[in-house]
Amino acid sequence: MNKQENILNIATKRGFFYPSAEYYGSKAGFWTYGHLGKLMKTKFENLWRCIFLGLNDNYYEIEGSSILPKKVFESSGHLKNFNDPLTECEKCHFRFRADQLVEDELKKDVDGLDEKALTKIIRDNKLKCPRCGSNLMDVKWFNMMFELRLGATGEDIGYLSPETAQNPYLSFKRQFMAQREKLPMGLAMVGKAFRNEISPRQGFFRLREFTQAELQIFFDPDEIDKADRWNEIKNYKLRLFLAKDRKQNKLTEIICDDANKKLKLPKLYVYHLARMQKFYLENLEIPKEKFRFRELAENERAFYNKIHFDGEINMETLGGFKEVCGCHYRTDHDLLGHSKGSGEKLEILYDNKRFVPHVLELSFGVDRNLWALLDLFYNEEKERTSLRLPYVVAPIETAVFPLVNKDKLPEKAEQIYSELRQNHVKVFYDSSGSIGRMYRRMDEIGCLYMVTIDHQTLKDNTVTVRNRNDMKQIRVKTKDLLETLRKLFKKEIEFKKAGKLI
């Protein structure tokens, strides 16, 4: 088995995630988080909130509807533009995503080509239906939103939101008043988005129903070259893969101050880019060489995105750098669009000026970030497989085992387990197998420290603590266990100094 299969195998078997509705033969692109996956996802989302809502007192989370009326997507442009190119077999009528088909058959990058260009490539290269060999029809656009009918008359049409972003734009007016008319104002949403992909591939990475964590920052365009806490990041080094350097495959490492002065990127933009990179490198402990920001060239980005960098992580399972987040300067495109489409006045009076605020969007795909973490921290050794997840996303942090299932060891172990659990440590208790097997199982789900209660525990009130990463063991006093674990989680002490090495 390759690495992707190995990870999927652990994920489905241990309860990270598995296809939804498996009894019925699942539909591609729909997955369910099991108990471990949900713990991990919740930790990721809460960390995200803590970091990004913590940037400014005026950044808050809201929760909008997944179902929104048709007019919203007329104004946003999704009805017209949110399309994938589709081609259909003349004979078997199977439908294919035209760009994928061309890429598969000709090993050629066709990103950004329109339906006529794709049709021409199919004709010029005499591409046929991969299933039955018949001719393919002309490429046309297929809208990727799920349509539904509201109410009993069926006349009202709604769509499932293909991104969380529209809700903050629709809430702008209410929230600006409720948040006492201050800018910048941030409105985040962590929620589901839905896209009717023609044929989702890449397993857990491209989904039809998925979770986004997005922050929309509304600001005064005259203030775009200001950032309150600029000093905290001005010397921080960004890892940029600039569009002009794409061919030479050259990475630019540049401090924020220079990104602002030499690359002419505005401070508000650079500031948030730095915070995003710090989130990956410092909080999620991603090795820096695995991370970069890829700049999108003008013909690659949406016309309303004036500046667009995607955060990318290099994943072995997906064969290279793949997008996990993005930072988009969307100008006044969204609010203007809704203002025109609805007739609602979204201009504000602020700082003695009248204007429509501009938007900076920080966008993260939660599920694909989790996949990236599994890819990066999956580790195979001769005798074991471990997920070396950092504490901030590990679903189970500690496990407690009695060495044998007798001699009052289970009672003592349960007591220690209960105390940890009451103190909100994510802890697992098991007394049903051999210690060796329990260690392997815990390594596989990323549990950081394993506590074993043995006969010595009954004598001197010490326990063995095993470190997932190097399998080293220390002896710690029972009464110090909780505090020791807390320090280990926060990396306030080194493992080998946290107790007596054995």
472 neighbors 466 (Cβ within 8 angstroms): yes
Told to check if 158 binds a second copy by CB under 8 A, we report yes
382 binds a second copy (CB under 8 A): no
Spell out the alpha helix ranges (H) of 434-480: 435-444, 455-460
The type of residue at 68 is L
Which pair of tokens denotes residue 83? 């399309």
Contact 234, 283 (CB under 8 A): no
The one among 83, 283, 342, 473 contacting a second copy by CB under 8 A: 342
- Dihedrals phi, psi of 289, to nearest 5 degrees: -70, -10
Buried b (16+ CB within 10 A) or exposed e, 318-352: beebbbbbbbbbbbbbbbbbbbeeeeeebebeeee
Nearer to a second copy, 308 or 368 (CB): 368
354, two tokens? 């009248």
- Does 309 bind a second copy (CB under 8 A)? Our answer is no
Exposed, middle or buried, 317 (CB in 10 Å: 0-12/13-18/19+)?
buried
Footprint of a second copy on 192-221 (CB under 8 A):
192, 194, 196, 198-199, 208-209
When binding is defined by CB under 8 A, the residue of 56, 100, 175, 283 that contacts a second copy is 175
Q: Where on the phi/psi map is residue 262: left (φ > 0), alpha (ψ -120 to 50), or beta? A: alpha
CA dihedral 149, 150, 152, 153 (to 10 degrees): -70
Size of the site for a second copy (CB under 8 A): 80
| Among positions 68, 396, 447, 474, the unique one binding a second copy when judged by CB under 8 A | 68
Nearer to a second copy, 73 or 279 (CB): 73
Q: Residue 34 interacts with a second copy (CB under 8 A)?
A: yes
Smallest gap, in angstroms, from Cβ of residue 428 to a second copy? Answer: 9
Nearer to a second copy among residue 57 and residue 380 (C-beta): 57
Closer by beta carbon to a second copy, 41 or else 234: 41
Q: Among 293-301, 350-358, 370-378, 425-433, which window interacts with a second copy (CB under 8 A)?
A: 425-433
* Binding status of residue 348 toward a second copy by CB under 8 A: no
Of 491, 489, 480, 184, nearest to 499 by C-alpha is 480
What x/- string results for residues 432 through 461 when contact with a second copy is judged by CB under 8 A?
x-----------------------------
Binding to a second copy (CB under 8 A): which residues in 236-295?
Answer: none
Distance of closest approach, residue 415 Cβ to a second copy, in angstroms: 14
**Identity of the residue, 257 or 414, whose beta carbon is nearer to a second copy in the bound complex:** 414
